[in-house]
Amino acid sequence: MGEIVLAAKITHVPTLVMSEQPGRLFGKRQQAIDGHKEIARRAKALGADTIIVLDTHWCVNAGYHINAKHHFEGVFTSSEFPQFIQGLEYDYQGNAALGDLIAEKAIAKDVFTLSHQIDSLELEYGTLVPMRYMSSVADFKVVSVAAWCTVHNHQTSRLLGEAIREAVDESDAKVLLLASGSLSHQIWANDDYEANNGTFTISSEFNRQVDLHVLKLWQEGEMPTFIKMLPDYAKKCSGEGEMHDTVMLLGALGWDSYDAKCEVIGEYFPSSGTGQVNVIFPVQ
């Protein structure tokens, strides 16, 4: 039988990739990169062979979608930030059977979900950025789930999370489950970016304070309280993808019955106006 061995909420900001390159950002995101690698090391130690990424950079407008190809290989340039991520090579094995089983379990819950093995359907950088660092630890397979859900509600995303858990339990996979997205996500207005040193600052002190309060709730295991504030938090603090990734993650972990104390790996940091962090959610 399979199992989710570890779960985490993680950052995927392009400045991680830029931090590897010569220039003014060199080394600036090393602690976040190290956080990715530490999460991967812990997952590997627990036997993980597959990473499921709930990707808030994969935008979908109808239904839920899973990229479950047998093999992913290509060269990625971001259409959003071509000056930040370009020529990013990747080569990963997929887990098509697991992707298909997730869709089957979701459909049984009346959540319309499609699992795809389409050669031309590529990965988005919400998956590619963490995989870049985590794959340096082990040859994990990858399944990517769209979590920028524009016309969906949190209830069905919660059910999709439950379907992920059920599918993993019935499979033979040992899974690291990643919610790939920011906390608050109010990007600096273009005209204000340079004047506010936007790469390294947050656009709203209110958002920063709420982010820090959320991290405190997570660290104290107060998930029922967080879940009550989640709809308002996602809207008022512009949570990335309305935080469907976080909803799916919690759906897989038990929703408001989940009370494990989470662990912040590294530091909370601002990036381009947004709030970023890597956090481990222990599996109960």
C-alpha dist (Å) from residue 29 to 11, 76, 181, 193: 11, 20, 16, 19
Which residues, in sequence order, are CB contacts of 208 under 8 Å at separation 6+? 184, 202, 270, 275
Which whole-number Å values give the CA distances from 174 to 4, 108, 187, in the listed order? 6, 23, 36
pLDDT score of 89: 96
> For residue 24, how many C-alpha atoms fall within 13 Å in the half-sphere facing its CB?
4
Q: What is the pLDDT of residues 4-33, one digit of tens each?
A: 999 999 999 999 999 998 988 899 999 999
pLDDT tens digits, residue range 71-121? 999 999 999 889 889 999 999 999 999 999 999 999 999 999 999 999 999
pLDDT of residue 241: 96
Q: What is the pLDDT of residues 125-149, one digit of tens each?
A: 999 999 999 999 999 999 999 999 9
Residue 163 three-state SS: helix
Domains assigned to the chain? 3-281 (3.40.830.10)
The per-residue pLDDT for 68 is 98
Please spell the DSSP secondary structure of 214-264, one letter per residue: HHHHHHTT-HHHHHHHHHHHHHHTT-GGGGHHHHHHHHHHTGGG--PPPEE
- Rounded distance between C-alpha atoms, residue 214 and residue 223, angstroms: 9
What predicted TM-score, i.e. pTM, was given to this entire model?
Answer: 0.97
CA distance 280 to 221: 12
pLDDT tens, residue by residue, 205-259? 999 999 999 999 999 999 999 999 999 999 999 999 999 999 999 999 999 999 9
Q: What pLDDT is stored for residue 115 in this prediction?
A: 98
CA distance 192 to 187: 10
Q: What is the mean pLDDT of residues 45-61?
A: 98
CA of 190: how far to CAs of 86, 193, 197, 198, 239, in Å?
A: 21, 5, 12, 9, 19
Neighbours of 107 (CB within 10 A): 15
Q: What is the pLDDT of residue 22?
A: 92
Residue 194: the pLDDT is: 87
- What pLDDT was estimated at residue 198? 81
Lookup: tokens for 212: 């820090």
Range 236-264 burial, b when 16+ CB lie within 10 A, else e: ebbbbbbbbbbbbbbbbbbeeebebebeb
- How much of the chain exceeds pLDDT 90, in percent? 93
Residue 30 and residue 20: Cα distance in Å, rounded?
8
Residue 202 is given by DSSP the state B
Locate tokens 């912040």: which residue?
264
